[in-house]
């Protein structure tokens, strides 16, 4: 169920099962990857929608991080530098709306861009949050990773978060630097998996743009998506 794209020095591997990015490389150097985590799970980059983490789990019966990361996505456009796919999140007894979710990937000369569009196609108005669970490759360890000049190591080990700018700089200890430009995202979650000995993974670091991480966002007026309405967010990554 994989799809491979290659253009402008970017290489992208998509898995339609879960709509996941298994690999993203620039000039053969891994940017996003797939990793065996210390907690026994396998991790790679995926979309979180219509909820992020535990919000909506009790009240709306939603699975953590939403269902699309486990659904089979359908190809819409398949080109060497432009690819899009979609899935349908069905309405349930508690979450009374059907959602159309589309991901668009663009391999540009100077950047990789990912756009997520969510539309309430039918049903009641419902709360929607969107996140992209990025697994950034850190082959020489993640300790000392900086976001906009701030060392995020402690936040990663405490499942922390920060406000996100429209234009951000990510710097890894091995000297690699990226520009992360976002649209629609307010916050970023910082995380890595760990085992029962509290030994944290360090071959990747999760830097995850999220529409909002405010504790009262999901279910608020700002989170509501009415029938026939849509929202879109995006992240664009460039090598510095």
Closest to 222 in 3D by CA, of 184, 188, 189: 184
User: What architecture does CATH give domain 2-239?
Assistant: Distorted Sandwich (2.70)
Number of alpha carbons in the 13 Å side-chain half-sphere of residue 44? 22
Please say whether the beta carbons of 14 and 30 come within 8 A. no
Characterise 51 by phi-psi region: left (phi > 0), alpha (psi -120 to 50), beta (else).
beta
For 135, counting Cβ atoms within 10 Å of its Cβ (0-12 exposed, 13-18 middle, 19+ buried), the class is buried
What is the predicted pLDDT for the residue at 15? 98
Please say whether the beta carbons of 47 and 201 come within 8 A. no
What is the predicted pLDDT for the residue at 162? 97
Please say whether the beta carbons of 16 and 85 come within 8 A. yes
Distances (CA, A) of 11 to 24, 42, 88, 117, 121: 6, 21, 27, 23, 33
- Dist. CA 173–CA 114, nearest whole Å: 25
Token pair in block for residue 104: 């668009």
H or E stretch covering 123: strand 112-123
> Would you write out the chain's pLDDT as a tens digit for each of its 240 residues?
999 999 999 999 999 999 999 999 999 999 999 999 999 999 999 999 999 999 999 999 999 999 999 999 999 999 989 999 999 999 999 999 999 999 999 999 999 999 999 999 999 999 999 999 999 999 999 999 999 999 999 999 999 999 999 999 999 999 999 999 999 999 999 999 999 888 999 999 999 999 999 999 999 999 999 999 999 999 999 999
**Helix/strand/coil for 228:** coil
Residue 163: cis peptide before it, omega within 30 degrees of 0: no
Q: Which residues contact 216 (CB under 8 A, 6 or more apart)?
A: none
Length reported for the chain = 240
What is the predicted pLDDT for the residue at 198? 87
What is the predicted pLDDT for the residue at 168? 98
**Helix/strand/coil for 60:** helix
Where do the structural domains in the chain lie, given as residue ranges?
2-239
**Helix/strand/coil for 223:** helix
Q: Strand 146-147 and strand 230-239: pairing?
A: unpaired
Closest to 101 in 3D by CA, of 62, 78, 72: 72
Backbone angles phi, psi at 73, to 5 degrees: -90, 155
């Amino acid at each position: 169920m994989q799809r491979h794209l290659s253009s402008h020095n970017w290489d992208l591997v998509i898995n339609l099962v879960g709509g996941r990015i298994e690999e993203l490389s620039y000039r053969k150097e891994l940017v996003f990857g797939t990793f065996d985590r210390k907690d026994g799970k396998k991790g790679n980059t995926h979309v979180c929608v219509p909820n992020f983490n535990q919000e909506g789990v009790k009240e709306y019966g939603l699975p953590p991080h939403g269902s699309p990361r486990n659904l089979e996505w359908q190809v819409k456009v398949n080109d060497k530098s432009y690819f899009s796919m979609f899935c349908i999140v069905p309405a349930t007894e508690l979450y009374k709306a059907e959602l159309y979710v589309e991901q668009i990937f663009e391999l540009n000369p100077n950047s990789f861009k990912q756009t997520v569009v969510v539309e309430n196609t039918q049903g009641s108005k419902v709360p929607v949050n969107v996140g992209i669970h990025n697994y950034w490759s850190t082959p020489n360890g993640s300790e000392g990773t900086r976001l906009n000049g701030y060392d995020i190591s402690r936040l990663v080990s405490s499942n922390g978060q920060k406000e996100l700018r429209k234009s951000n700089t990510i710097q890894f200890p091995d000297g690699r630097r990226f520009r992360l430009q976002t649209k629609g995202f307010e916050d970023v979650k910082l995380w890595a998996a760990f085992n029962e000995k509290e030994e944290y993974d360090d071959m990747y670091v999760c830097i995850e743009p999220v529409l909002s991480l405010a504790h009262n966002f999901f279910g608020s007026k700002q989170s509501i998506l009415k029938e026939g309405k849509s929202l879109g967010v995006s992240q664009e990554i460039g090598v510095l």
